[in-house]
Amino acid sequence: MKPTLMRIANWLLYVGFCALIGTGWLLEFRLLPGSRGGRGLELLGWGRHDWGDLHFWTACAVVALTIAHLALNWAWVRKVANDNRRWRMLAGFGVGLALIAAFIFLPITRRESGEGEDHGSEHGQRTTGR
């Protein structure tokens, strides 16, 4: 049963990875934000926000599948941790957690008028907050 579950999880991870690349590419290069001329563009009847929602929920599914993949391969993870490679595993987890924490805890700022793409800001003041 475990080999079948691993094949299914691996295949779903691959499909999810490809979907993330495709929707990310679509959002970045084809369905441009409104300030850059993308207002009203659609693909298959879906606009930028619809595809952004799909991209987000696909990412959530890939995270869940990754956790399942690690659980199914836990014996290998333990073997790597028990060999003299524990520092590699801890470094990998540390880098990943630091990256996640950076996106959660770094302050959000508003661009000042005339700076970059945010031409519609009402105030030229810089604000911070979460």
Per-residue pLDDT tens digits for 48-92: 899 999 999 999 999 999 999 989 988 887 787 776 777 777 888
For residue 55, give the nearest of 84, 25, 95 by alpha carbon: 25
Q: Where are the alpha helices (DSSP H) in 26-125?
A: 48-72, 74-82, 86-105
The pLDDT score that the predictor gives to residue 19 is 95
Within its chain, how far is the Cα of 82 from the centroid? 30
Reported as a pLDDT band with limits 50, 70 and 90, residue 110 is confident
pLDDT, greater one: 112 or 28: 28
pLDDT, greater one: 111 or 72: 72
Of the listed ranges 25-34, 54-63, 97-106, 108-117, the one predicted with least confidence:
108-117
pLDDT 10s digits, 13-44: 999 999 999 999 999 988 888 755 556 788 99
Cβ atoms 104, 114 nearer than 8 A: no
Which distant-in-sequence residues (6+ apart) come within 8 Å of 125 by Cβ? 110, 112
Q: pTM for this structure?
A: 0.68
For residue 12, give the nearest of 47, 64, 48, 52 by alpha carbon: 64
Reported as a pLDDT band with limits 50, 70 and 90, residue 130 is very low
Q: Which residue ranges make up each domain of the chain?
A: 1-72, 75-114+126-130
- Cα pseudo-dihedral 9, 10, 11, 14, rounded to 10: 120
